[in-house]
Amino acid sequence: MLYDPGVWLFALAVGLFVAGILGVVLSTRRVPPSGTLGVPGLTGDPGAERLLLELEAEVERLRAERDELRGVLGRLASLLERRYPHLSAHRTAHLVTAGDDEEHRADGS
């Protein structure tokens, strides 16, 4: 009976089936959160909360600065469009990046 390959294949199939069921059960079970970060076995740094708050404040400051710079760039673009209405958008973009040169000044100053 132990030399019969059918018995071994059946035992292998049953073992793989049980291992698959156990794998699904163990991978989908809920683990209660441990520590402050919710990751098992990981302890929270006491200064991490303070660093997180500092990073959030820095992000807010950078966002405000970005919005302010966008506003300045928009005002600059509208001033350039009023000053040089005959130029195309491509040339206006060139003036913003390269600066105003002497050939575009009407009064020569």
From CA 35, how far away is CA 49, in angstroms rounded? 13
* Residue 59, domain extent: 51-99
Please state the domain count of the chain: 1
Examine residue 82 and state whether it is found in any structural domain, yes or no: yes
From CA 29, how far away is CA 41, in angstroms rounded? 17
CB 84 within 8 A of CB 95: yes
Q: What is the pLDDT of residues 5-62, one digit of tens each?
A: 898 999 999 999 999 999 999 888 876 655 444 555 556 677 788 888 999 999 999 9
From CA 93, how far away is CA 96, in angstroms rounded? 5
pLDDT at 109: 42
Amino acid identity of residue 58, one-letter, is E
Examine residue 66 and state whether it is found in any structural domain, yes or no: yes
Does residue 2 register a pLDDT over 60?
Answer: yes
Does residue 83 register a pLDDT over 80?
Answer: yes
Q: What mean pLDDT do residues 65-88 have? A: 86
Does residue 99 register a pLDDT over 60?
Answer: no
Q: What value, to the nearest 5°, has the Cα angle with vertex 106 and ends 90 and 70?
A: 40
Examine residue 11 and state whether it is found in any structural domain, yes or no: no
Examine residue 90 and state whether it is found in any structural domain, yes or no: yes
pLDDT at 55: 93
Q: Which range among 52-56, 96-100, 104-108 has the greatest average pLDDT?
A: 52-56
Q: What is the dihedral of CA 68, 70, 73, 79, to 10 degrees?
A: -80
Examine residue 109 and state whether it is found in any structural domain, yes or no: no
Q: Tell me the backbone φ, ψ of residue 83, rounded to 5 degrees.
A: -75, -40
Examine residue 6 and state whether it is found in any structural domain, yes or no: no
From CA 98, how far away is CA 75, in angstroms rounded? 17
Q: What mean pLDDT do residues 88-104 have? A: 56
Examine residue 74 and state whether it is found in any structural domain, yes or no: yes
Examine residue 38 and state whether it is found in any structural domain, yes or no: no
Does residue 108 register a pLDDT over 60?
Answer: no
From CA 48, how far away is CA 10, in angstroms rounded? 54
